[in-house]
Amino acid sequence: MTNEKIVEILKQKYNLPVFYRKVFEKDLKNYNYFIYGETNLRKDACRYYQTIEVVWVTERGYNPGLQEIDIIETLESIGLRLAENATYDEVQISKTNQYLDIVTFHFSRPVKK
């Protein structure tokens, strides 16, 4: 599966913007989006695997509950495999009392030489 396939399925299923590696404030309509990028490459026996980090950022209260499972299953349907536990974090929007919820997923995909 290619990066284009990751972007396509996330946009299609969740109707949120998807950014590669970084996002700029000027590109955001709100704080609900995905960002993804490669984080490492490893060799296991004779095969290579690449870790893809997918980060889901949402305004506090946007997540309708356990949508994380649906995101995992959606990305696994295109050939990615969850490589480790999803992690949760939150950040406060500067000079406000609003928070963003952040869920980080680490997926693995095989890479051909």
Terminus-to-terminus CA distance in the chain, angstroms?
Answer: 14
Residue 21 is predicted with a pLDDT of 92
The residues spanned by each domain of the chain are: 3-111
Query: Got the DSSP string for 22-65?
Result: ---GGG-SSS-EEEEEEEEEEEETTEEEEEEEEEEEEETT---S
Residue 66 is predicted with a pLDDT of 67
Residue 44 is predicted with a pLDDT of 86
pTM (2 decimals)? 0.88
Residue 61 is predicted with a pLDDT of 74
Q: Are the CB atoms for 23 and 31 separated by under 8 Å?
A: no
> For residue range 23-71, what is the model confidence (pLDDT) as tens digits?
888 888 888 999 999 999 998 888 999 999 999 999 887 766 668 999 9
Q: Tell me if the domain spanning 3-111 has CATH number 3.40.630.
A: no
